[in-house]
Structure 1
Amino acid sequence: MTPPRNRSTLAAVAVLSLALAACGTRVDHDTIVRAAAGNGSGATGAGTGSTLPGADGSADGATGDGTADESGGAATATAEEDQQGESGARSGGSATSGSSGGGGQGRRGGPIVIGSVGTYSGPGGVAFAQGPRALQAWAAATNAKGGINGRRVQVIVMDDGADAAKGRSHVQELVEERNAVAIVASFTTTHTLAAWKSYVEKKKVPVVGGDCSTTLWSNSPMMFSQCPASATAMDGLVNIGAKYGKGKKIGGLICTESDACSHAGNHVFGDGRAAERFGLDPVYQAKISITQPDYTAECIQARNAGVELLMVTGDPNTVARVASSCRRQNFTPQFLQPGATVAADSAAKPGLSNVLASMPVFPFAGTSSSAISEFNAAWKKYGGGKAAGPAAAQGWASAKVFEKAARGAGDISRAGLAKELYTFRGERFGGLTVPLGYVAGKGTTDSKCTFYMRGSGGKWAAPVGERAVCW
């Protein structure tokens, strides 16, 4: 998929790899906080990298700020740490002074350096930025408890601006200059990921989790997804509609801005025949643009076709506008949505009160197992003050996959991490993921499971908790 370039609107998001084609620049700490909090201002910063206070090695991330590196270096240290010379650097300095070469293994007792490369500025940042924010929150919470095997975690976040060349450059910097042992929770577009996939394979750098909708996650020996395969995720959506939906007649509004939208529509309504395979009756499909101010005509057509379940491939704002347009026509189908096409507040939007959504990782709201409670506590303290959404859950799940590998590895190096990841079979990380496994030379094994959320009383509910719905 090649998204349109230099667009000023959000083309689509995450699970579908819909085109996040906003212009981007290098991102600073405040930009990530604003984007993760849902501020669509698209503010940009000069620094290459950023860390949440505490995510770079401080014991308590509640105070201090990462210092943006005006010369293009990574911002990694709190002011106190910079004075102590523990791990970070100011303008022009290395973000990984405690690391050395040798396959990305830091010195004994030095920080464990990991990086996230993705589309984190501009309108695209609103959709994706909670992913690296959750990674930073995990690092801050982990460091506050003593780190991993006595070593602190240092997170470097880099914005690719949906630019493939920039994404490749950032990954190379992380690997060759910052000595990162892994790329973790990278939320980026398919064309950008494709630009550096062969590089990490050649360098044998583990890539652990991120925007897992693209098929690139399922055919690489160095890419370890925290989610089921993209086609499986769409099957899971239709399965949820068939099991828990109010009606069997399904319709779809498919955005034209991205090939991924077309692929999703084709999987459900076309050659993939997912709707029919799971017992639904596809009665209507139409193409839309996410730039449309109104969807009245499509809503009337869907109503006349008898649609009871309506799937919209687009960003959360598009889904909300469709629901509003349909409601004005007294047409209130139940919306059936891939997780990343909704947001933390979608269930409170007019016409979406009973929305159904599939999630590739644990529900971001509505349940509280011990593993999810850990996420909730870290997000409350370090998440920027806004409710968590789908990307936050995916970022946290990515971090926990990395954490388990790091704690179990004999040495926390690229090779050691990959070796440990290849031992995983049917892992669920306390209910945060579907059963996951990784095979040496092949990558992630698929799992025919998903998670389930629904709107209830203006809020999100998780009717079956952290239990995965499998078929």
Structure 2
Amino acid sequence: MRTRLPAFTRFRWPAGVAVVALAAAACSTTGSAATDTHGLTGTPIKIGVLANVSGPTGASEASATKVFQAWAAHTNQAGGIGGHPVQVVVKDTKEDAPAAAAAARSLISDSSIAAVVAASTSTDAAVGSILADSGLPVTGGIGYNPTVWGKLKNWFGLTTTFPQVVNMQIASAQPVGGSAISVVACAEEPACVAAVPLFEAAAKAAGKTYSGTMQVAAASPNYTAQCLDLVNRKVNFVQLSISPAVGVRVVKDCQAQGYAGYFGSSASAISPTLYRTANIRLAGALNAFPWWADTAPVKAYRAAMSEQGVSDDDAGQPASTAMWASGELFKKALTSAAGKASDPVTRQTVLGAYGKVKGETLDGLLPQPITFTAGQPAPPVNCYWLYQYQNGAFAGSAQPTCPS
């Protein structure tokens, strides 16, 4: 049975990049600081993080990495996992397939690494089989590439998977009256339009008018002509398949041309860079828990971020909450499996623990009850959280939406 949550409050962050293919359906350097063990003397549990820290569109994934490091420090401060301190080793994929593959092999060759979390959506395909075949478990993170998540063994996904990661964008248009839908996509990368046929089909299946795809170049001085076209075609929901920085420019130009509808942004495309744009109206779907929710587990997340000195900009996006949820599930799964503080925690220990995860929701931090079976690919995650954002505040349903 699903856990019902109380209604969200309208939560405001104080004032203060990833290229997306319609929520990124497209598709080494050690950067970790020493994790504070807080005096714990047990055998350490070392977790590798494959993260796009320095790539051109890696802002949200770099933020998510900070959150995971903060989770480890917070966990150690509270006694670790059964007395075992957690240590985090970050490998920067640089948004580059060869670099990502080299980083994955580096983690595999280090026998002290017990598990990996993935925070480099653009390179999942480059490392998928390498990690699946190695026996090094990927215990969550951020991802929806259908050739990896839900397809390969030892990849334990927790966030919304394909095809719902595309369909949920159409679903997010419904509550805000989006009836004539268009996509604004980047012109530089084929990945930005890779999911457009699926998006168009989902729009038509939902009875929406699909008003076409418009590609824009980051180097363009303005987007006045494109925005006028959207207004003339009476589009009232524009899905953004561009980096947040370019998205801000498109939003401002379209506002100046009289566009009064909503902009769509979902999954790891949502970032403070975009949602802090003046007078923006956003609607979309989250593939990880909403950071503004008024529930005990989410309040604990915000308190931990404050305690660990993580900024609201880094904590306030779904890529970051996905990494926190991954850490919390790891802690819960390993608490009884880790053994004595002096016992080593190996990859087999982690695989055994994850094979026993049954119907887990983490009290609402996961989008649906999660069950894993040893030696089998993780089941699809079909649920997500719908949200709206306007007047500087988030609002949305307290209950994840779970299509059939």
Q: How does 1:159-308 map to 2 (within 5 A)?
A: 159-177=92-110, 179-184=112-117, 186-190=118-122, 192-215=123-146, 216-242=148-174, 244-269=175-200, 273-308=201-236
1:401 matches 2:329: yes
Alpha-carbon distance between aligned partners in 1 of 2:204 and 2:261, rounded to the nearest angstrom: 19
1:376 matches 2:383: no
The correspondence for 1:12, drawn from 15, 19, 38, is: 19
Indicate conservation of the 8 Å contact 2:18/2:269, yes or no.
no
1:355 matches 2:296: no
Q: Unpaired runs of 5+ in structure 1?
A: 1-9, 27-47, 60-80, 87-108
AA partner of residue 232 (structure 2): N
**Distance apart, 1:383 and its partner CA:** 4.5
Alpha-carbon distance between aligned partners in 2 of 1:56 and 1:176, rounded to the nearest angstrom: 24
Question: Cα–Cα, structure 1 residues 448 and 283, in superposed 2: closer, same or farther, change >3 Å?
Answer: same
**Distance apart, 1:438 and its partner CA:** 2.5
Alpha-carbon distance between aligned partners in 1 of 2:311 and 2:132, rounded to the nearest angstrom: 37
AA partner of residue 176 (structure 1): S
Alpha-carbon distance between aligned partners in 1 of 2:18 and 2:312, rounded to the nearest angstrom: 23
**What is the SS of the residue equivalent to 2:194?**
helix
Question: Cα–Cα, structure 1 residues 379 and 287, in superposed 2: closer, same or farther, change >3 Å?
Answer: same
Alpha-carbon distance between aligned partners in 2 of 1:268 and 1:396, rounded to the nearest angstrom: 29
Alpha-carbon distance between aligned partners in 1 of 2:205 and 2:337, rounded to the nearest angstrom: 42
Alpha-carbon distance between aligned partners in 2 of 1:362 and 1:14, rounded to the nearest angstrom: 21
**Higher mean displacement: 251-260 or 140-149:** 251-260
The correspondence for 1:49, drawn from 31, 40, 46, is: 31
**Higher mean displacement: 222-231 or 117-126:** 117-126
AA partner of residue 211 (structure 2): V
**Higher mean displacement: 219-228 or 207-216:** 207-216
**What is the SS of the residue equivalent to 2:210?**
strand
Indicate conservation of the 8 Å contact 1:212/1:227, yes or no.
yes
AA partner of residue 381 (structure 2): S
Alpha-carbon distance between aligned partners in 1 of 2:334 and 2:81, rounded to the nearest angstrom: 7
Alpha-carbon distance between aligned partners in 1 of 2:141 and 2:190, rounded to the nearest angstrom: 20
Indicate conservation of the 8 Å contact 1:14/1:340, yes or no.
no
Indicate conservation of the 8 Å contact 1:132/1:395, yes or no.
yes
Question: Cα–Cα, structure 1 residues 418 and 134, in superposed 2: closer, same or farther, change >3 Å?
Answer: same
The correspondence for 1:433, drawn from 339, 350, 366, is: 366
1:312 matches 2:240: yes
TM-score, normalising length: structure 1: 0.74
Alpha-carbon distance between aligned partners in 2 of 1:201 and 1:122, rounded to the nearest angstrom: 24
Match of 1:33 in 2: none
Indicate conservation of the 8 Å contact 1:225/1:444, yes or no.
yes
Indicate conservation of the 8 Å contact 2:124/2:145, yes or no.
no
Indicate conservation of the 8 Å contact 2:67/2:310, yes or no.
no
**Higher mean displacement: 156-165 or 282-291:** 282-291
Indicate conservation of the 8 Å contact 1:359/1:390, yes or no.
yes
Indicate conservation of the 8 Å contact 2:82/2:335, yes or no.
yes
Match of 1:76 in 2: none
**What is the SS of the residue equivalent to 2:87?**
strand
**Distance apart, 1:345 and its partner CA:** 5.1
Question: Cα–Cα, structure 1 residues 233 and 11, in superposed 2: closer, same or farther, change >3 Å?
Answer: closer
**What is the SS of the residue equivalent to 1:406?**
helix
Alpha-carbon distance between aligned partners in 1 of 2:310 and 2:100, rounded to the nearest angstrom: 25
The correspondence for 2:75, drawn from 125, 142, 164, is: 142
Alpha-carbon distance between aligned partners in 2 of 1:336 and 1:409, rounded to the nearest angstrom: 42
Question: Cα–Cα, structure 1 residues 175 and 376, in superposed 2: closer, same or farther, change >3 Å?
Answer: same
Q: How does 1:89-104 map to 2 (within 5 A)?
A: none
Alpha-carbon distance between aligned partners in 1 of 2:19 and 2:193, rounded to the nearest angstrom: 12
1:274-303 CA deviation, whole Å, 9 max, x = no partner?
112223221232222334332211111111
AA partner of residue 180 (structure 1): I
Alpha-carbon distance between aligned partners in 2 of 1:289 and 1:427, rounded to the nearest angstrom: 43
Alpha-carbon distance between aligned partners in 2 of 1:256 and 1:355, rounded to the nearest angstrom: 22
Question: Cα–Cα, structure 1 residues 439 and 292, in superposed 2: closer, same or farther, change >3 Å?
Answer: farther
Alpha-carbon distance between aligned partners in 1 of 2:358 and 2:251, rounded to the nearest angstrom: 41
Alpha-carbon distance between aligned partners in 2 of 1:332 and 1:286, rounded to the nearest angstrom: 18
Q: Unpaired runs of 5+ in structure 2?
A: 1-16, 340-344
Of structures 1 and 2, the one with the larger relative CO (CA 8 A, separation 6+) is: 2
AA partner of residue 207 (structure 1): V
Match of 1:39 in 2: none
Runs of 4+ in 1 over 4 A off after TM superposition: none
Indicate conservation of the 8 Å contact 1:14/1:212, yes or no.
no
TM-score, normalising length: structure 2: 0.86
Indicate conservation of the 8 Å contact 2:25/2:166, yes or no.
no
Alpha-carbon distance between aligned partners in 1 of 2:127 and 2:252, rounded to the nearest angstrom: 40
Question: Cα–Cα, structure 1 residues 178 and 441, in superposed 2: closer, same or farther, change >3 Å?
Answer: closer
**What is the SS of the residue equivalent to 2:38?**
coil
Match of 1:468 in 2: 400
1:443 matches 2:374: no
Question: Cα–Cα, structure 1 residues 450 and 343, in superposed 2: closer, same or farther, change >3 Å?
Answer: same
Question: Cα–Cα, structure 1 residues 113 and 56, in superposed 2: closer, same or farther, change >3 Å?
Answer: farther
Alpha-carbon distance between aligned partners in 2 of 1:421 and 1:350, rounded to the nearest angstrom: 44
Provide the identity percentage. 26
Question: Cα–Cα, structure 1 residues 116 and 223, in superposed 2: closer, same or farther, change >3 Å?
Answer: same
**Distance apart, 1:263 and its partner CA:** 2.4
1:301-341 CA deviation, whole Å, 9 max, x = no partner?
11111111111101111221111111111112211211322
**Distance apart, 1:199 and its partner CA:** 2.5
Question: Cα–Cα, structure 1 residues 225 and 259, in superposed 2: closer, same or farther, change >3 Å?
Answer: farther
AA partner of residue 298 (structure 2): I
